[in-house]
Amino acid sequence: MFLRNAWYVAAWDREVSKDKPFARTLLNEPIVFYRQSDGTPVALEDRCCHRHAQLSLGVVVGDNLRCGYHGLKFDAAGACVEIPGQDRIPPDARIRSYPVIERWNWIWIWMGDPAKADESLIPDWWWTTHPEWACTRPDPFHMRCHYQLINDNVLDVTHLAYVHSSSIGSAAINEFPMTTERVDGKVRMTRWIIDRPAPPMYQGFGQFNANVDRWQIVEHQAPCFSVNFAGCADTGTGAREGNRSGHRIDLMALSAPTPESENTTHYFFCFVRGFNLQDATTEKMFAEDFVRVFREDVVVIEAQQRRMESLPGAPQISIAVDAAPMAARRMLDEMIEKDVRTSR
């Protein structure tokens, strides 16, 4: 079951245009997106109320969308405003319209009761558009898995040692314990790896002369928003105590996997860095090498999903690294339960 009264990332801003409709299924609901003439994004049900043609096969006409079958025209609120060949428009000639907001270069959609859509619930991912940070915005992955497997993956950073051993992984990760806490409606996982060599990719970025102090901090908020704060600094320069002045690299991976269905997901993510802001080589490394690192997860997670489908109900065990993913699942379960109770 999905959390209905919540924002989800629906699309990158660049995916939705004034020129033609854009179709995407979210939480099992087929949705069509377009932009009005002033650029405002619109999300409507992708089903004409006449004979159920897909409106995404129609055309954008100014601020409205025309069905490509018999020409009914709908406004941004989902009301039919024109039926070719007749003057009368029946009152039930309308389709569902979804609240949307453009923020952090994404288009966010509210999938529940429009009256409950509260902008302040969108994560405050201000670094993505702040001039002191550079943001790399890859295309989303379409993944054959339940979105919670992606939440689990980003909340468990021990997998770096095995899945990403050639890039951001290092055996040292497992030497240092992590802590999991629930604060301010978020699950936070923290691990500091002190006085160890930088992993290969960080070494490439930072050219460290000796060992580093490395942080892995993940903050997750339901239903599917995670920030992985990552980086490292010359060892002993006080990074853990909050000293940001030493030689260091500082980056974040932002994850927003939006369910398409129970077993497929549109995985939106981006990278934010606080170093080499204008450097084209660094940008290329994030756009290509770091995306390749994420593709290593896709292989593992999709195989995991296939096995779960082929052996439904087979037992699992839980280990220490599951603390943060399990805390996030509990938090989401509580929110879904409350959402269902208060929506009755």
Distance between CA atoms of 275 and 175, rounded to whole angstroms? 28
CA distance 221 to 201: 28
The token pair that represents 272 in the structure block: 């934010």
* Contact partner, 297, from ligand FES, Fe ion, none, Cβ < 5-8 Å per class: Fe ion
Q: Which residues of 16-34 are buried (b: 16+ CB within 10 A; e: fewer)?
A: beeeebbebebbebebbbb
Nearer Cβ to ligand FES, position 86 or 278? 86
Q: What is the largest CA-CA distance in the chain?
A: 78
**Are the CB atoms for 242 and 183 separated by under 8 Å?**
no
DSSP state of 86: B
Contact range with ligand FES by CB under 6 A, out of 44-52, 208-216, 231-239, 245-253: 44-52
- The single residue among 297, 301, 324, 339 that binds Fe ion, judged by CB under 5 A, is 297
Phi, psi of 263, deg, nearest 5: -130, 20
Task: Determine, following the binding rule CB under 6 A, whether residue 89 of this chain makes contact with ligand FES.
Answer: no
**DSSP for 180-211?**
EEEETTEEEEEEEEEEEPPPHHHHHHH--SS-
Count of residues engaged in binding Fe ion, rule: CB under 5 A: 1
- Choose the contact partner of 122 out of ligand FES, Fe ion, none; CB within 5 to 8 A by kind: none
**Position of tokens 């007749």?**
86
* Residue 53 binds which of ligand FES, Fe ion, none (CB < 5-8 A, kind-dependent): ligand FES
With CB under 6 A as the contact rule, the residue among 48, 95, 160, 270 that binds ligand FES is 48
Stretch that binds ligand FES, among 43-51, 85-93, 295-303, 327-335 (CB under 6 A): 43-51
Report the residue closest to Fe ion, judged by CB: 297
Q: Which residues bind ligand FES (CB under 6 A)?
A: 48, 50-51, 53, 67, 69-72
Q: Which residues bind Fe ion (CB under 5 A)?
A: 297
